[in-house]
Amino acid sequence: MNDRSPAPRRASQTWAMLIKRVYEIDPLECPLCHGQMRVIAFIEPPQGAVIEKILRHCGLWQPSTPRAPPAGIGWGHASDNEPPPPASRPP
């Protein structure tokens, strides 16, 4: 049985290809200059200190402050943000 995973470069290309197919946008294209980006690391929680260090180095760190969710985001009811009523069942 072969338990080897694909090489990191191949895996990131496959990931990018699938995202591009599904969402019709290239996740490895820079939204500012449209140049080609590359994945250098995957950082997963609970590595908040690592993420903060990287963002501070890039000058992008913004301390976490509570804020309200964006307007219009909710259950799909723009008027009330309440969950939809339960589906009625036939008698």
Does residue 26 contact residue 20 with C-beta atoms inside 8 Å?
A: yes
Task: Print the domain residue range for 12.
Answer: 8-58
- For residues 28 and 12, give the distance between their C-alpha atoms in angstroms, rounded to a whole number: 10
Q: Is the dihedral of CA 68, 60, 56, 31 positive or negative?
A: positive
In a domain? residue 44: yes
Number of domains in the chain: 1
What local confidence, expressed as pLDDT, does residue 36 receive? Answer: 92
What's the predicted TM-score (pTM) here? 0.40
To 5 degrees, how large is the angle CA 73–CA 30–CA 35? 165
In a domain? residue 31: yes
pLDDT 10s per residue in the chain (91 long)? 455 555 555 665 688 889 899 999 998 899 899 999 888 777 887 888 888 898 899 888 888 777 777 676 555 545 555 555 666 555 5
